[in-house]
């Protein structure tokens, strides 16, 4: 949820507005507005996303990914998915392999691959089993040392082929970088097409998407639970902002916060037992702490200003949030135990939408200069600030669960689209909606979980 979104919920309609506000959020507040019940639709599918990658990383690992043996008999091109995953993160240079096919049982000629300036090589096969499943086998080699790095096999259903390819990419990433990959994780985002809003869940590359919630009234502020099983979000279906929690697998949901005034901007604690929410039940929008199972809320801020857009630090002891208590929106840090608060951002008169990297090192946020809203990164250890984009209408940054990429939304040619960027801003990927004309916004990256 943007700072202005929260401000509108507790202020007259003449308040400054942006994004959801200028495109119809007020329809959920005005008299006579119609509303439709929410519908969970696991069968609903988004159009296949198109990934457009720009930029080149400073240091990349040269890797060759020949086609898997018998891949032409599989309904899914495993190597195409693996290639796209590795290319999108910016750490790998995909070598040209032409029409070469390499299975997992054949020992490659390392000397030949070294002449191609290749450091790593993947070979694999996919075979359809009698029970309809697909047997996937692969080996990853260190070409420079001539050693085997990984040898894996898995049997999956047709519907799980894409996820299997992501798991292969995760394994490659971990073997070559020492860190966990994020390709088999999920993302959530909101679309608006005409007068219809929808909350989607998809694979990290935007594929295999399905609708979790749809409504003719706005849906905003999705937030993943730490175990990846639930989403908290705000719905205007009752013509006011109410916080819900929904089970991803079953579609079952329950009200989390429906107090007098607005209820907005939910954020899960790292242990999943609590959420911070923004409530205006006592007047101005303030931060409150609420148990995931309900019960009485505890007020965290006492400013009398607008305090919103909270996000937890990974230590579970600190919350970052946006407040205009100093006259303009800035990002502050609050200690949950005692309420001690300090200002974090000082460069620029307008900084909103904070997100903390899972390793706790970086703060991403949106900085406004004039009419330009730009994704910005603050290294909390060094204080170095970096503008990551050249676009001017960025919103809703969300870190990948390995802290190495940021997903955000921005406006391109009049439409809101999803983007990812590396932390140095060199590698950017656009997740475009194909022929769909829906605006795509409010992305949140799910956690590292085993599915």
Give the pLDDT score at 51: 47
Give the pLDDT score at 165: 97
List the structure tokens of 332: 């502050």
Cβ neighbours of residue 186 closer than 8 Å, sequence gap 6 or more: 201, 202, 203, 204, 228, 446
Q: Are 240 and 7 in contact (CB under 8 A)?
A: no
Give the whole-angstrom CA distance, residue 189 versus residue 205: 12
Query: Tokens 């080699």 identify what position?
Result: 141
Mean pLDDT by runs of 10 across the 451 residues of the chain is 49 30 29 31 37 56 96 95 92 92 93 95 97 98 96 96 97 96 96 93 90 95 97 95 96 95 96 97 95 90 95 97 96 96 96 98 97 97 96 96 96 90 90 66 89 49
Predicted TM-score (pTM) of the model is 0.86
List the structure tokens of 76: 């899914």
What pLDDT, in 10s, does the model give residues 423-435?
A: 999 888 887 543 3
Give the whole-angstrom CA distance, residue 233 versus residue 109: 53
What pLDDT, in 10s, does the model give residues 97-118?
A: 999 999 999 999 999 999 999 9
Regarding beta strands 405-412 and 395-399, do their DSSP bridges make them parallel or antiparallel, or are they unpaired? antiparallel
Give the whole-angstrom CA distance, residue 431 versus residue 171: 23
Give the whole-angstrom CA distance, residue 301 versus residue 389: 33
Check the CA dihedral 330-399-414-385 and report its sign.
positive
Regarding beta strands 61-64 and 120-128, do their DSSP bridges make them parallel or antiparallel, or are they unpaired? parallel
Hey, what's the torsion of the CAs at 80, 81, 84, 88, to 10 degrees?
-170
Give the whole-angstrom CA distance, residue 115 versus residue 110: 9
Q: Which residues pair with 306 in a beta bridge?
A: none
Give the pLDDT score at 407: 97
Give the whole-angstrom CA distance, residue 282 versus residue 304: 10
List the structure tokens of 166: 């992501």
Give the pLDDT score at 41: 38
Taking phi over 0 as left and psi of -120 to 50 as alpha, with beta for the rest, 225 belongs to beta
Using DSSP's 3-state secondary structure scheme, residue 325 falls into: coil
Q: Are 162 and 203 in contact (CB under 8 A)?
A: yes
322-354 CB burial, b ≥16 within 10 A, e <16: bbbbeeebbbbbbebeeeebeebbeeeebbbbb
Give the pLDDT score at 62: 96
Give the whole-angstrom CA distance, residue 127 versus residue 416: 41
Check the CA dihedral 274-255-308-397 and report its sign.
positive
């Amino acid at each position: 949820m943007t700072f202005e979104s929260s401000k509108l919920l507790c202020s007259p309609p003449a308040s400054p507005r942006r994004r959801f506000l200028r495109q119809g959020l007020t329809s959920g507040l005005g008299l006579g507005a119609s509303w439709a019940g929410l519908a969970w639709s696991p069968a609903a599918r988004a159009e296949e996303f198109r990934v457009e990658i720009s930029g080149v990383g400073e240091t990349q690992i040269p890797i060759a990914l020949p086609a898997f043996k018998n891949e032409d008999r599989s309904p899914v091109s495993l190597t195409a998915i693996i290639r796209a995953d590795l290319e999108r993160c910016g750490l790998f240079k995909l070598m040209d392999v032409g029409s070469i096919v390499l299975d997992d049982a054949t020992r490659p000629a390392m000397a030949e691959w070294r002449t191609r300036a290749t450091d790593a090589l993947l070979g694999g096969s996919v075979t359809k089993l009698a029970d309809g499943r697909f047997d996937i086998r692969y080996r990853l080699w260190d070409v420079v040392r001539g050693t085997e790095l990984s040898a894996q096999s898995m049997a999956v259903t047709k519907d799980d082929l894409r996820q299997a390819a992501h798991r292969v990419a995760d394994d490659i990433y971990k073997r070559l970088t020492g860190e966990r990959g994020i390709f088999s994780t999920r993302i959530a985002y909101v679309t608006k097409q005409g007068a219809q809003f929808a909350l989607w869940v998809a694979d990290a590359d935007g594929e295999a998407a399905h609708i979790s919630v749809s409504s003719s009234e706005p849906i905003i502020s999705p937030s993943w639970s730490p175990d990846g099983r639930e989403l908290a979000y705000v719905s205007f279906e009752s013509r006011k902002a109410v916080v819900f929690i929904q089970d991803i697998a079953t579609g079952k949901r329950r009200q989390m916060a429906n107090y007098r005034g607005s209820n907005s901007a939910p954020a899960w604690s790292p242990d999943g037992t609590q959420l911070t929410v923004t409530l205006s039940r006592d007047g101005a929008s303030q931060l409150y702490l609420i148990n995931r199972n309900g019960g009485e809320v505890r007020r965290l801020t006492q400013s009398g200003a607008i305090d919103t857009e909270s996000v937890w630090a990974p230590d579970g002891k600190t919350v970052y949030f946006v407040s205009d208590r100093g006259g303009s929106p800035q990002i502050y840090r609050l200690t949950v135990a005692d309420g001690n608060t300090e200002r974090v951002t000082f460069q620029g008169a307008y900084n909103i939408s904070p997100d903390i990297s899972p390793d706790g090192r970086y703060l991403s946020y949106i900085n406004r200069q004039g009419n330009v809203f730009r994704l910005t990164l603050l290294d909390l250890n060094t204080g170095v600030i970096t503008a990551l984009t050249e676009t001017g209408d960025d919103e809703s940054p969300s870190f990948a669960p390995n802290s190495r990429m940021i997903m955000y939304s921005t406006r391109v040619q009049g439409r809101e689209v999803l983007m990812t960027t590396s932390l140095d801003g060199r590698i950017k990927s656009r997740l475009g909606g194909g022929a769909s004309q829906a605006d795509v916004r409010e992305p949140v990256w799910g956690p590292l979980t085993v599915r």
